[in-house]
Structure formats: C-alpha cells, structure tokens
Amino acid sequence: MKSIFSTLALLLLLLLGACKSLFERGNEQFLSGQYQYAISTFNQVLATDSSNLSARRLLAESYRLSNRIESSLPHYQKLAQEDPSFETHFFLGQSLKANQRWDAAKLAFEAAAASTSDERLQTRIKQELTGLPLVAEIKDYFSNYLLVNYNELNSAGADYAPLISEDFLYFTSGRASSRLYPATGTGYHQLFRARAQGLKVDAAGVERLPEFENEEGLNQAALAISPDGNTFIYARGNSTSARDYPETMLFASYFRGAGFTQPSWMPVNEEDTWWNSTPAFSTDGSELFFASNRPGGYGGIDLYKATKLANGDFGNAVNLGPTINTAGNELFPRPTEDGKLFFASDGHPGLGKLDLFVAEKNQDGVQVVSNLGPSFNSQADDFGIFFTDYPKAGFISSNRAGGKGDDDIYFFEDKTPAPKIVNVLLNVFTKEVQVDGKEAILPRTRVVLYGEDKRQLGGDFSNAQGRVRFSLSPESDYSIIASRSGYFSKSIPFTTKGKTPDLATLVQEVTNIVLDTTVILDQLILEKAIVLDNIYYDLNKADIRSDALPELDKLVKILRDNPTIRIELSSHTDSRSSDDYNLILSQQRAQAAVDYLVSQGITPDRLVAKGYGETQLLISNAQTEEEHQTNRRTEFKVIEIKEN
C-alpha cells in the first residue's frame, strides 16, 4: 500500500512540473505575440487546472489581442467572479458587446466604473455606457442595399481590403501561404489581383501581385493605389526576424519607366515603434489617409491624414479629430469625391465589433458620424469598404457568420426599384363662340404655360385643329394663358393634383396620362357693349352688393389678362324715376363699380365710369319686372387698345 502511494505521489509531482513548464511556454508565446500558440497552450493548462487564473487571464488576453474578443467571454466572466478588477470588468463588457449582449455589457461597465477612480478610465467607461442605448437607434444609412458573399472569389483563408484600379481588383488574402502567422494560426497575408469590370471579377484568374514580389514570413496587406496608378502603398509587418522593423509600417512602390520599384519604408511612419496601416488615397491623390497608434491620439488606433510634399512623399500627418476618432479603434478610411469619409470603428456605437461608418457635414456644416446600419454591419468585423460606382455599388470585408473563410469579400448593390414614371400630357384646345352660339376651333392662338412660381414653362401656337400639347408633372398647379390678336386674352388655372394614379398601384415602368382642357376666347371689338350679368343694386342705392362681386372679379381678371385695353364701365336704370335722378344714380353706380376695380389693383386711367340713366333702354315700353330688370344693367366696352 505504501509503495502504491509513493508511485501516485511521484506521478502527481511530474504532472505539476509539466503544467508549470506548459504555463511558462504559454507565457513566452504570449509575450512574443504568438497568440494562437498561446491559446492552444493555455487551454491545455486549464484542462488540467481550471483554477489557474493566471493562465485564464492570459488566454482571455490572447483572444482579445488577436481580435477574437467574443471568444474570450467565458474567461472574463470567470475572472470577474474570482479576481475582479477594472480590467476584467471592462474587457468583460467589451466581450459582451461583441456578443450583442447589451444589458449584461452595461452591468459589466458599471462594475468597471465602480472599481476605479482614474478620471481617464472613467471617461472611457462613460463613452461605452453612453453608446450602448444608441445601438437600438441604428438604422440603415443606405436603403435597399443588398450585400452578397463573393463566394467564387473568397478562399478558406482571409480575403479582405478590395479595391479596383485600371480594370483589376486588388485585395489581401491568406490563400496559398507557405507559412503560418503565429499570432492567429492562419497563413501570412499577401497581395493578389484579378481582372475586373465593376463588380464582375475573374475569380478564376486570381494571381499574386505582379508589380512587385510578396515577401515571405511577414504580412503584406491593405493596399492603396494612387488615382493615376503609379504609386502603391501598403502595410507591411509582423516579421519574426529580429533584423526587421519591429512594427507594422507603410511601404511604397513607384512606377519608374519599365516597372515598379522595390517597396521602401515611408517617412510618414516617423517612428519604427509606431503602428501604421490601412492606407487610402484621396480622390485626387493629394492626401494619404491611414490608421496609426502614434502618441497624441484619442484611443487605441486613430485615423490620420498626410499631405503630398514637393518631393512626392507624404508628411505633416494630422489626426482627424475626436468626432471621427474615439477611445476605441478606427481603421480602413475611404474618402469619397463628395467630401465624405467612410471608415471602420469599434469605438462608435455599433452592432458588434468593427462596424462601417460615414463622417459627413450636416446642413449646419457640423461633422457628424453615422453607422451604415444592419444592411452593412453585423455582430462581427465589417470593414474595408470600396465603391465601384459610388454610392450604388462596391465591396466590403467581413468575417461574419456564414462566410467561406476567415475574412471574406462581399459585394453590394443598390436594389432600390427604379421609380415609376408618370408622364402627364395636356392637350389645350383653343376655341371661340360664333354668332350662332356654337363653339369653333380657333387656330394659330398663342398658348403659354406657367408653373406655380409664375415662371414660363413652355409656349406655342395652336395647330390647325386648335391644339397645343404640354408635358406636366404629377401633383402640380399651373396657369395657362391664351392670346390672339382681335380677341380678349384669357388665363385659366390647371392642376394635375388628384388626376394621376397612385405610384404604388402601377406595374409598368412608364405610364402616360393624357388630359384635355379648353380655352374659349371672345372677340375684342371696340365700342361693343358687353353686359355684366348679376350686377344688382338695392333700390335707390349705389353700393356694390356682395352678390355682385364675383361678376366684377371676372372683369378684374379680363383687365389683368389684357393689360393694353381701356374700358368704359356703364350703368343703366329703368324708366320708373325721373331722368335727372336716374342719371345721377346710374353715375354713382358706375363709379362704385370702377372704385371696386381700382381697389383690386386696376389702374384708374384704364377705367371710365359712365352713367346713362334711362337714355339707352333695351325695352322702351317695359311692363313687367323682368323687362325692367333687362333695362337695369351694367355693361363694359373697350374704348381703346394701347400698343405694347
């Protein structure tokens, strides 16, 4: 029995020694940035000793630092329970965010706030807590856009950061790599291209970048190409060689005569210890946008802009400011020709990890940032937008669920249905009333169309059939003026409101609606009396009654439509009072009518008031009230036509 216990004790000591050695190996892997190897090692440690909080902490950090914070959730949860600190609560909150568990994330950030008095950290937590309620308000920036995985182009490895230049799609990929990157356990990333026309890519013809050779044993990614195609800038880093640059840096290759130069380190990097990546040119090539963790920023990685110098290099890098940059990470800038900047961020309120955003100026000239919404963004990383037909089509990169590999390239198109078109055609017919009272075609009449703003929209002479045709817009108001020498000009209103079908009910792309209207002109004859109907006065009074105003308003319109005429407005009485009385009364009535016309804007020198009393009876021996009413009338006649 004793010997048995001795053997068990020896085995236990050997196991503990192996675990210690395993932990030390994992720690070395972690410190050297070999996170994938560290993840494997610490999982082995925890498999035999689940209470090892140091191993659990480094495992959680390995996931976080290799951009897999969503996978670190159970480990930060355990750490928050058994070894609570600001870091464990804060990173727990971030991992919960990455898993879209918003309420639990709020509790974790509040616990982090309670565990520190550092003002800088409190500010960081406040940003997180302020952003969480805004997630529910995120809406699509672009409506009716469809995002599709480019299955034929993607590989089992990472494929991302697409851009098109001179009929080629350039992108970054981990396909066909001969070595594994120890931080992620995937192949090193290299630069590739394939022929393309817009969204159509020759996926079968993918080849390694021919302009210069990809280097082995390091990552080359996120290519930017100048608008003229003569400058290539990309991020290069993660070399395992002690003789290489210690950080990810920007390198440039230039077209010189027969080909491109060997890529060289760019002065815009400034310091070898600063991380610089995801470059993009401005649309005119005069500026270089990129991401960097250099000191003086607002968080982990910020976006910067450098200007092109006289020698062709880029320098004087400027931080894009706190509206765009946050305490989180901002990457993959993409400026557009209309002054907007698209980029990826995990610091602005988003749907998971990296989301796509756009910064633009609002109507007040203030820069605002908007999430592109669920049409583009997911719980995972969404980044690297490029437009092939701005803003209707392009590519993005994403490692969302359901993809073909790690990061995948997706294409998007605006699928907004083409708007239904309704053409409104108006036939205006010009006519006159003949002596027999019948209407007749009046050809060669000038017809002019005006919009609601009184601007002329068209005009023509009616044809032999008395017709003029205009194109109108649905749900709009117009006025039409018809004129011809020897006739009173006339204006009429016309509206298309309520005269066209509901667009939602239309099936055809184009629908033509034909409407008709008629303008009847009266002959303009000097000294010909025209009776104004319904002009009544109270007995022995000259005041204009309210029921007479509509008829006088018609005369106002005639005078406005015909600004060159001068009229006499006359009043006539019946014969039932004395001649002198009737003359005075009729003059007062005529003047009252003229005064009303003047009050409506008609100039007095175009009007003459004349009372005829009973001197021009139409029925000389009137007996009935109806006959007396015929004699009691108001008339006007054109007495002068002024030249224009």
DSSP letter at 580?
Answer: H
Q: Return the pLDDT at 358.
A: 98
The pair of structure tokens assigned to 150 is: 């480019």
Digit-coded pLDDT (tens) for 230-249:
999 999 999 888 889 999 99
> What tens digit of pLDDT does each residue of 337-376 get?
999 999 999 999 999 999 999 999 999 999 999 999 999 9
Mean pLDDT of 550-565: 92
> What is the C-alpha separation between 452 and 479, in angstroms, rounded?
8
Which tokens belong to 129?
């807590």
Instruction: Give me the mean pLDDT over the 466-493 stretch.
Output: 93
What pLDDT, in 10s, does the model give residues 69-78? 999 999 999 9
pLDDT one-digit tens code per residue, 6-22: 343 434 444 444 455 79
Cα–Cα nearest to 369, from 133, 131, 97, 163: 131
Distance CA 105, CA 327 (A): 17
- According to the model, what pLDDT value does residue 27 have? 93
Q: What is the mean pLDDT of residues 557-568?
A: 92
Note the pLDDT tens digit of each residue in 251-297: 999 999 889 999 999 999 999 999 999 999 999 999 999 999 999 99
Predicted local confidence at residue 104, as pLDDT = 96
d(CA 236, CA 279): 11
- Residue partners of 27: CB distance under 8 A and separation at least 6: 38, 58
**The pLDDT value given to residue 43:** 94
Within 10 Å of residue 596's Cβ, how many Cβ atoms? 18
Taking CA 136 as the corner, what is the angle to CA 130 and CA 138, rounded to the nearest 5 degrees?
95
- For CA atoms 79, 82, 85, 89, the dihedral sign is positive
Full set of structural domains in the chain with CATH = 2-137 (1.25.40.10), 145-414 (2.120.10.30), 421-521 (2.60.40.10), 530-641 (3.30.1330.60)
Q: CA–CA distance from 243 to each of 109, 217, 453, 551 (Å)? A: 42, 13, 74, 100
Q: Decide: pTM greater than 0.75.
A: no
Q: What is the pLDDT, as a whole number, of residue 115?
A: 94
pLDDT digits (tens, 9 = 90+) for 180-217: 888 888 899 999 999 999 999 999 999 999 999 999 89
Q: Where residue 434 falls among pLDDT bands split at 50, 70, 90?
A: confident
Closest C-alpha to 46, from 57, 37, 35, 36 = 57
Tell me: the pLDDT tens digits for 384-432?
Answer: 999 999 999 999 999 999 999 889 999 999 999 888 889 999 999 999 9
Q: What is the mean pLDDT of the chain?
A: 91
